[in-house]
């Protein structure tokens, strides 16, 4: 019999054989446009720290004051004795920022998706996902036990077809009572004898950088009586008059039942959130297992996230956002892209072959430029790509260096 480690080594060899082996890269500096790694200073085009806040003195001071006043750890889950002032202040700030009745913070965006979706849906229900939604939403959908349907990426016709199917199924099953489970008790609502349908999308897609047609999606979910959840992970802090996200930019925030996001990308801190009605938040406090059965986030993270929310709403926050869009515009014109109606800071450069994508990334690293190769399972097989992200902390010269480097690598990028 093979030993445990031998089995795992075999599996790793198989992953390596497909060009899909991943390894951690140790970074010896704070997050920023320049990072230290492997003794090299790399110009970093891989971060989600879009506004350059992760290492900003404003956030660092906030985090330090959080430690000084509330310690290093929260000591317990929120519902025991870990619900500290910084968590409550963060949630009040989040609700104000997002313009919703209430908000709830989680320890990560991943935990947010899993907690919220599994609380809201059970095996009587249907969840309809965009083909390209983030892994945390896919995992949440599976774990919820709801029936999963996937619609073609950003395709409203296909979404409508799935919504029609869901409504037909509801009629056929009628007011069926759920088969009672003899398995271990779950803190979910008792069966309502009514099927619920939840549509989930990202607003700005994490690996493709494109935008979801939120207005059309809102119209469809209203037509078919479904609920809508929008993950604003890559949009919070960047879009809309108050930087609330793409839903604000498109004027539909008030029609989305569940708005989700992370505090770890443009907001530069750590954690995730749901914003919505008071009823939604009270319900999640009672039923979101990733919220209930987990130690509350460290106070420093909550205080830093609140500082970031203040920052993005300030005049200085607006300047950062404008700087980001200026850099994005510079990059787009250098690579001959017509600027889309809604700008975005994520640029996938499709390569296809996994090994070639990894090679291209290595060639860029030789020029001290860090652009990650994104491969399966983050994207589909044969859809490997370089993923460039720009931030407000990049200089105009940084963008020029990137363009020169990309032009020097054989990835069909030439301009
Ligand atoms: C990063 C990301 C998440 C997860 O958020 P974390 O706070 O990093 O756990 C969720 N959804 C999308 C679309 C993301 O890109």
The rounded mean pLDDT for the chain is 94
Ligand 1 first shell, C-beta below 6 A: 108-110, 134, 136, 202, 206, 231, 233-234, 262, 264, 272
Q: Is the pLDDT of residue 217 over 60?
A: yes
The residue whose CA is least distant from atom 3 of ligand 1 is 109
pLDDT band at 140 (very low <50, low <70, confident <90, very high): very high
Number of helices (H), then strands (E), in the chain: 14, 13
pLDDT of residue 68: 98
Closest-CA residue to 108 (of 287, 245, 249, 305): 305
Q: Which atom of ligand 1 is nearest to the CA of 263?
A: 7
pLDDT at residue 282 greater than cutoff 90: yes
pLDDT at 148 over 60: yes
The whole-number pLDDT of residue 73 equals 98
Q: What is the pLDDT of residue 415?
A: 44
pLDDT per residue over 314-354, tens digit each? 999 999 999 999 999 999 999 888 888 899 999 999 999 99
Residue 377 has pLDDT above 60, yes or no: yes
pLDDT per residue as tens digits for the range 26-54? 999 999 999 999 999 999 999 999 999 99
Domains observed in the chain: 18-50+315-408 (3.90.1150.10), 57-312 (3.40.640.10)
What's the token pair of residue 157? Answer: 């016709």
Ligand 1 atom with minimal separation from the 136 CA: 10
Q: Whose CA is nearest to atom 8 of ligand 1?
A: 109
Q: Is the pLDDT of residue 146 over 50?
A: yes
Say what the pLDDT of residue 257 is: 98
The Å distance, Cα 209 to ligand 1 centre, comes to 14
264 CA: nearest ligand 1 atom: 7
Q: Whose CA is nearest to atom 5 of ligand 1?
A: 109
Ligand 1: centre distance to CA 75 (Å): 25
Mean pLDDT of 296-307: 98
How far apart are the CA of 344 and the centre of ligand 1, in A?
Answer: 17
154-193 confidence digits (pLDDT tens): 999 999 999 999 999 888 876 554 444 444 445 555 567 7
Distance 398 CA to ligand 1 centre (A): 26
In the block, tokens 């207005």 appear at 215
Q: What pLDDT shows up at residue 171?
A: 85
* Ligand 1 center from residue 233 Cα (angstroms): 6
pLDDT, tens only, 379-399:
999 999 999 999 999 999 999
Say if pTM beats, i.e. exceeds, 0.75. yes
3-state secondary structure at position 243: coil
Ligand 1 mutation pick, 233, 234, 345, max ligand atoms within 8 A of CB: 233
Nearest-atom number in ligand 1 for the CA of 110 is: 9
Residue 308: both structure tokens together? 């970031």
Q: Which residues are catalytic?
A: 206, 234, 265
What is residue 413's predicted lDDT score, i.e. its pLDDT? 61
pLDDT tier at 410, thresholds 50, 70, 90: confident
């Amino acid at each position: 019999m093979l030993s445990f480690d031998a089995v795992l080594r075999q599996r790793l060899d198989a992953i390596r054989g497909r060009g899909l082996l991943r390894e951690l890269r140790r970074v010896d500096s704070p997050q920023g446009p320049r990072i230290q790694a492997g003794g090299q200073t790399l110009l970093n085009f891989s971060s989600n720290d879009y506004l350059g806040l992760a290492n900003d003195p404003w956030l660092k001071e906030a985090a330090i004051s959080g430690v000084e006043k509330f310690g290093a750890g929260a000591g317990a889950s929120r519902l025991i004795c870990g619900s500290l002032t910084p968590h409550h202040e963060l949630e009040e700030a989040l609700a104000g920022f997002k313009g919703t009745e209430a908000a709830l913070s989680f320890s990560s965006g991943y935990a947010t998706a899993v907690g919220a979706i599994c609380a809201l849906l059970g095996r009587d229900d249907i969840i309809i996902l965009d083909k390209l939604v983030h892994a945390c939403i896919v995992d949440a959908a599976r774990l919820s036990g709801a029936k999963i349907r996937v619609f073609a990426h950003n395709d409203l016709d296909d979404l409508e077809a799935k919504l029609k199917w869901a409504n037909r199924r509801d009629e056929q099953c009628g007011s069926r009572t759920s088969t009672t489970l003899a398995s271990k008790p779950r803190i979910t609502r008792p069966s309502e004898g009514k099927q619920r349908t939840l549509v989930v999308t990202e607003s700005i897609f994490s690996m493709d950088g494109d935008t979801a047609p939120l207005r059309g999606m809102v119209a469809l979910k209203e037509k078919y009586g479904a609920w809508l959840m929008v993950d604003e992970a890559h949009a919070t802090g960047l879009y809309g008059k108050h930087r609330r996200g793409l839903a604000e930019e498109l004027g539909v925030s008030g029609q989305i039942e569940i708005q989700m996001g992370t505090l770890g990308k443009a907001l530069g801190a750590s954690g995730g959130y749901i914003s919505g009605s008071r009823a939604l938040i009270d319900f999640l406090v009672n039923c979101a297992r990733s919220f209930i059965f987990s130690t509350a986030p460290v106070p420093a993270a909550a205080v830093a996230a609140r500082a970031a929310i203040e920052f993005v709403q300030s005049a200085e926050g607006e300047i950062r956002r404008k700087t980001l869009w200026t850099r994005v515009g510079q990059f787009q014109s250098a690579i001959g892209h017509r600027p889309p109606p809604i700008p975005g800071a994520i640029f996938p450069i499709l390569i296809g072959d996994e090994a070639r994508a990894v090679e291209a990334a290595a060639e860029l690293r030789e020029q001290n430029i860090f652009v990650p190769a994104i491969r399966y399972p983050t994207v589909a097989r044969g859809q490997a790509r370089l993923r460039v992200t720009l931030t407000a902390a990049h200089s105009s010269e940084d963008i020029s260096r990137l363009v020169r480097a990309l032009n020097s690598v054989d990835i069909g990028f030439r301009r």
